[in-house]
Amino acid sequence: MSGSRFVDVSFFDMNEPKPWKHEETQWLQDCRVFKVGRSLAHSPHGGAPHPFYRIDADDWVNVIPVTPSGEVVMVKQYRHGSRTVTLEIPGGIIEPSEAPDVAAARETLEETGYAGRAPESLGCVNPNPALFGNRCHTFLILDAEPVAEIANSSTEETSVELIAASEIPRLLKQGIIDHALVVSALHFWRLRDLER
């Protein structure tokens, strides 16, 4: 049927994996923006416990700000993990007791100097379930316009790049945009447009 969604219920059968039981987590390292922990986990099928490591971090937010003329407000910044300058959308850590949409507007203003309509939620993902337990929330801010100077912290430096929305697929295919959470966010945006 046109417009309907089909879910293959055979995917959800009785043979699916069961949760493992974890002993108390030992926190090995506090790295300011995340902690590294180790716990022993017991398989639901028995046997000896196995050590597993996880990264504990606050939830994150990323934002697709779009100008009235349809350009995406992106940022270039140096990333210490990849040791490269990347092309991304604004985003960051959701502060304790801060609502995700408030964090979206704050991060956009801090990293780009842009503000626009109220942030619209597009979706939420786990950055990597093998290691992380946190969530990354994605928002769209329409009619984004410059209203302030960039206000980066002492550990970041961003510059604004206005990218035509029509250029995004090429930048993805060429690997110029290669941050997985940014790719996920842009996919959420595409899904929103397809559903309208």
Tokens of 137: 């929330």
Q: Are residues 101 and 33 in the same domain?
A: no
Q: What is the pLDDT of residue 168?
A: 97
What is the band of 156 on the pLDDT scale with cuts at 50, 70, 90? confident
d(CA 180, CA 82): 13
Residue 92 included in any domain: yes
What is the band of 4 on the pLDDT scale with cuts at 50, 70, 90? very low
Residue 3 included in any domain: no
Give residue 49's domain range.
9-56
Q: Are residues 50 and 64 in the same domain?
A: no
Residue 154 included in any domain: yes
**Sign of the four-CA dihedral 183, 193, 73, 96:** negative
Q: Are residues 129 and 185 in the same domain?
A: yes
For the ranges 28-32, 59-63, 150-154, 183-187, which has the lowest average pLDDT? Answer: 150-154
pTM given for the model:
0.88
Q: Are residues 52 and 89 in the same domain?
A: no
Q: What is the pLDDT of residue 49?
A: 92
Q: Are residues 173 and 88 in the same domain?
A: yes
Q: Are residues 42 and 70 in the same domain?
A: no
Residue 35 included in any domain: yes
What is the band of 1 on the pLDDT scale with cuts at 50, 70, 90? very low
Residue 182 included in any domain: yes
Per the structure, how many domains does the chain have? 2
Tokens of 43: 């398989």
